[in-house]
């Protein structure tokens, strides 16, 4: 699963208001070249949307904004393939590790990374990336924490994507510019497909 993420290099971060939008959204992402999504629990439809896509062998669905063990259990039961959280909750991380569920907790400091190392984590989310120093901060962290790999999320766009992916410590970036909530809510799935295809072409131009 981690190899899939590393190959795709972009994880669309999605907030879905209606479960009926889950399948057409996944179709648009797949046609555009990114058969993956982190569906957040920021909306009531998040959990059901994960369940709606979990049985698709051609689509990698994960759960985002997971704050607790109870939520981790819920998304695991719904069929999520990986768990992402904005911060590092040791109880949630340990539950995921015990269940062999890939988990990427958010970190924003060396102290967070010390906790991640203590838990045995090799990959973490760097969040909110742009607001806490962006590429410069990651360059500073990858020196003393060379064994950790990062998934920067927060403020990532086409304009700075290449800067992040150029770092050897970055395996992928989380972004929402191709899956903005207003596009999903208004059913503009053709636009989502177009923006996703542009993102994948951008990756190809970077040699990814």
User: Please, what is the angle between helix 90-98 and helix 110-119, to 10°?
Assistant: 30
Q: Which of 7, 122, 125, 193 is catalytic?
A: 125
Q: Running DSSP on this structure, what letter comes out for residue 208?
A: -
Distance CA 65, CA 44 (A): 12
| Annotated catalytic residue, options 7, 20, 38, 147 | 38
Categorize the per-residue pLDDT at 1 as very low, low, confident or very high, splitting at 50, 70 and 90.
confident
Any bridge partners for residue 13, and if so which?
38
Q: State how far the Cα of 67 lies from the Cα of 75, in Å rounded to an integer.
A: 11
What per-residue string of b and e applies to 52-91 under the rule 16 or more CB within 10 Å gives b?
Answer: bbeeeeebbbbbbbbeeeebbbbbbebebbbbbbbebbee
pLDDT over 80 (residue 108)? yes
**Quick one: pLDDT at residue 207?**
75
| CATH architecture designation of domain 2-193 | Alpha-Beta Barrel (3.20)
Domain ranges of the chain: 2-193
Per-residue exposure over 1-36, b if at least 16 CB sit within 10 Å of its own CB, e if not: eeeebeebbbbbbbbbeebebbeebbbbbbbbbbbb
- Contact by Cβ (8 Å): 138, 109: no
21-80 pLDDT tens trace: 999 999 999 999 999 999 999 999 999 999 999 999 999 999 999 999 999 999 999 999
Cβ–Cβ under 8 Å, residues 76 and 102: no
**Is 38 considered catalytic here?**
yes
Q: Can you tell me the distance from the alpha carbon of 128 to that of 30, in angstroms, rounded to the nearest whole number?
A: 26
Helix or strand holding residue 149 (H, E): strand 149-152
User: Is 114 annotated as catalytic?
Assistant: no
pLDDT tens digit sequence for 129-186: 999 999 999 999 999 999 999 999 999 999 999 999 999 999 999 999 999 999 999 9
Q: Strands 123-126 and 83-85: what pairing?
A: unpaired
């Amino acid at each position: 699963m981690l190899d899939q993420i590393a190959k795709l290099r972009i994880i669309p971060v999605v907030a879905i208001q209606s479960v009926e939008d889950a399948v057409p959204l996944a179709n648009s992402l797949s046609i555009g070249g990114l058969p993956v999504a982190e569906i957040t629990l920021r909306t009531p439809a998040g959990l059901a949307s994960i369940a709606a896509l979990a049985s698709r062998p051609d689509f990698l669905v994960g759960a985002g904004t997971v704050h607790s063990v109870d939520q981790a259990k819920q998304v695991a039961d719904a069929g999520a393939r990986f768990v992402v959280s904005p911060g590092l909750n040791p109880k949630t991380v340990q539950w995921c590790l015990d269940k062999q569920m890939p988990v990427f907790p958010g970190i924003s400091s060396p102290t967070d990374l010390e906790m991640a190392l203590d838990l045995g984590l090799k990959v973490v989310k760097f969040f909110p990336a742009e607001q806490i120093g962006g590429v410069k901060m990651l360059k500073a962290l990858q020196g003393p924490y060379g064994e950790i790999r990062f998934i920067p999320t927060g403020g990532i766009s086409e304009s700075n994507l290449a800067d992040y992916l150029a770092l050897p410590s970055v395996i992928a970036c989380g972004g929402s510019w191709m899956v903005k909530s207003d596009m999903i809510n208004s059913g503009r799935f053709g636009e989502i497909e177009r923006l996703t295809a542009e993102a994948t072409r951008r990756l190809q131009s970077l040699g990814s």
